[in-house]
Chains A and B, each alone.
Chain A
Amino acid sequence: MKRKLPVLIDQAVGSIQAEAAEKGVAFERLLRTQKQPSCRTGCDHCCYHPVELSLFEAIPIYRFLVARGRWTPSFVKALEAHDENVAHLTMAIWLLTKIPCPLLADHKCSAYEVRPFQCRTTWAVGDPHYCKGEEFGPQTGLLPRAELAQTFRDYERLFAKPLNLTYLTMPMSRALLLAAKVVTGEVSVSDAHLVLFESFQRNG
């Protein structure tokens, strides 16, 4: 029988998910009072940007995909390939290689409702053409600034410390593969960082 996630971890995941949604909506509201976002449905330029997230954020995404029947063997295979491709790449090389997010399907996010905080708070406020990795430059109008992401990471760290967890962020594919192992009990949450270090060494 599959073990459940420890209650305290589950609570932390819930709180962080709520914080991400709340802060994301608040940021969007504030943004719309000041600027006109140019993001449109079907535009996926930012889905080729490097995204890193914590296990806390990956667990709800994993559960969402399982609940929707999207966690299939072929999807796991695609995640493994993505993980292998982006492991140890610098952000610049990743951006220029235009490796799509593994959740991108038909120009849309297949887990939009539970997307990571970074995705919730990324908005184009200029010509979306300049959101393309190879077009990054002075004309790129992308929000937010790094401070907002840092505030959220600090919030996540607040939960990690009392739970004795090593707080780490990692690429989407690796985070989802690890979340699957943790939720199904294959790996304990406290050992997750060890599995992560091992996989990093293996890919290096």
Chain B
Amino acid sequence: MLPCCVCNREWPKEKCVVLTLTEDERAMLIKNEGSAPETLAYCNPCWRVLSDRMMGAQLIRSTLQVHLRQNGVGDAEQRSQAYFDRLLEMTSKPKS
């Protein structure tokens, strides 16, 4: 059983998507949080949401907004909206 890094529920390994972090990703996590796992497990339901361009960006936007607000950031909505727009831009197809 693996804990989903999004919803925290324990899932059988075969019902999870397990991603191995790159060195850059690990370095960033270590810098920000002090430690970093080798892999991250996403349960299938959460992975379906996150791997969808729009729903994934929406979940990240909402989570960021909640996090910013809880930390007393006044313009949490604007900041999370800006990040959402950037996420969509990053994931849009390149113009031909």
Contacts and interface: CB of A to CB of B under 8 A. Distances in A.
Contact of B7 (A87, A90, A98, A204): A90
A84 interface: yes
A85 interface: yes
Interface residues of B, number: 21
B55 interface: yes
A203 interface: yes
B45 A89 contact: yes
Contacts of B48: 84-85
Contacts of B69: 137
B62 A204 contact: no
Nearest to A133: B62
Nearest to B57: A97
Given A90-B9, A133-B62, A134-B62, A85 B46 contact: no
Nearest to B9: A90
Interface string B35-67: 000000001111011001001001101110110
Given A93-B7, A204-B15, A88 B65 contact: no
Interface in A121-151: 133-135, 137
B30 interface: no
B6 interface: yes
Interface string A80-111: 00001101111011011111000000000000
A135 B62 CA distance: 8
Contact of A98 (B9, B43, B58, B66): B58
Contacts of B43: 88
A183 B44 CA distance: 31
A89 B58 contact: no
B63 A96 contact: yes
Nearest to B8: A90
A85 B55 contact: yes
B46 A89 contact: yes
A89 B49 contact: yes
